[in-house]
Amino acid sequence: MTDTSLRTSWTDTVGRGGTPDAAALRDHLRAVHRANPGFTESCAGQCRDAEGRTTYEWLAQAVTPQRHRSVLDLACGSGALLAILNARLPSGARLLGVDMSPDELALARARLPEGRADLIEGRAQHLDHLGDGSVDAVLCHWALTLMDPVAAVLDEIARVLAPGGRFAALVDGPLDAAPGYRAVHDLIYGHVQAALPAYGRIELGDPRVRSADDLVDLARTAFPFGKINIETNVVRLRGSAEFVAREAAGFFYAAFILTDDARDAMLGDLAALLSDWDIGGETTFAMPVNRLCVDLPDIRPLA
């Protein structure tokens, strides 16, 4: 395997043709976020949909201030979503954030008013610090696709949600829902697979989350009495080809395994591809996103 700028037990296992376990996945994700804290919001915070919303703002709209008085941001990262919730919810609303990266949590603590949110280092599969039915809403911004085992995550969310609660998550949308996205995806993965051929065949997290039908099936199992809905949206980033290439590539975990030279080559090819889509000297990168919403009944059904 070609040497990479990010070597973890996950990349080593994939390089040998094996299938990494959940512990290797956690090790890999922590390594990426330790080296690049805040990278998720760098791109996501600048992409906007047709109504001018970022993905964080679109997800935050799943919370109703009058109904949801306690909100958990699962895999809260650098706190971008919590900051929006802090601005939108009454001061008496309870905010919680859970993330397994201490580096991301440090950024979240720095950006939020002291004491405004309970920030906890932990895993989504083990929300032991939260009691049954203790939160009104759980949000998860583009992290569910990285979690394995994901069924255990959904079971924990179902446990901590109060009757009448809501779970909302943003996940990858269909590749062809956004113009040109498949070409960008394939170009980045082509460069990555030159270094790590099995990347893509073996992905981060549970592949079922990337399929709307499979995700609905997972949700039905965890929330058998819930009302489940999935919406597809497209967000866009605009700017120079070089800027857009850098920000777009930075949203792909795959890109972080490349050496500096290989990354520069990939960015050059990506900027050239994006230049073909210039309109008036401005390049546009479009990204598809799905929003899953699960609403629980007001009365918890008897087991």
Report pLDDT for 1. 40
| Sequential pLDDT tens for the chain (303 residues) | 445 568 899 999 999 989 999 999 999 999 999 999 989 898 899 999 999 999 999 999 999 988 899 999 999 999 999 999 999 999 889 999 999 999 999 999 999 999 899 999 999 999 999 999 999 999 999 999 999 999 999 999 999 999 999 999 999 999 999 999 999 999 999 999 999 999 988 889 999 999 999 999 999 999 999 999 999 999 999 999 999 999 999 999 999 999 999 999 999 999 999 998 776 778 999 999 999 999 999 876 655
pTM of the full structure: 0.93
Using an 8 Å Cβ cutoff, are 111 and 97 in contact? Answer: no
Using an 8 Å Cβ cutoff, are 19 and 87 in contact? Answer: no
Q: In whole angstroms, what is the distance from residue 216 CA to residue 290 CA?
A: 12
- Provide the 3-class DSSP secondary structure of residue 235: strand
> What residues form DSSP beta bridges with 170?
141, 291
Q: DSSP states of 20-53 as a string?
A: --HHHHHHHHHHHHHHSTTHHHHHHTT-B-TTS-
Going from N- to C-terminal start, the domains of the chain cover 9-295
CA distances from 6 to 3, 81, 225, 252, 287 (A): 9, 27, 43, 14, 25
170-212 pLDDT per residue, tens: 999 999 999 999 999 999 999 999 999 999 888 899 999 999 9
Report pLDDT for 66. 85
Whose CA is closest to 161, among 134, 141, 139? 134
DSSP 282: B
Report pLDDT for 256. 93
Domain 9-295 adopts which CATH fold?
Answer: Rossmann fold (3.40.50)
Using an 8 Å Cβ cutoff, are 170 and 289 in contact? Answer: yes
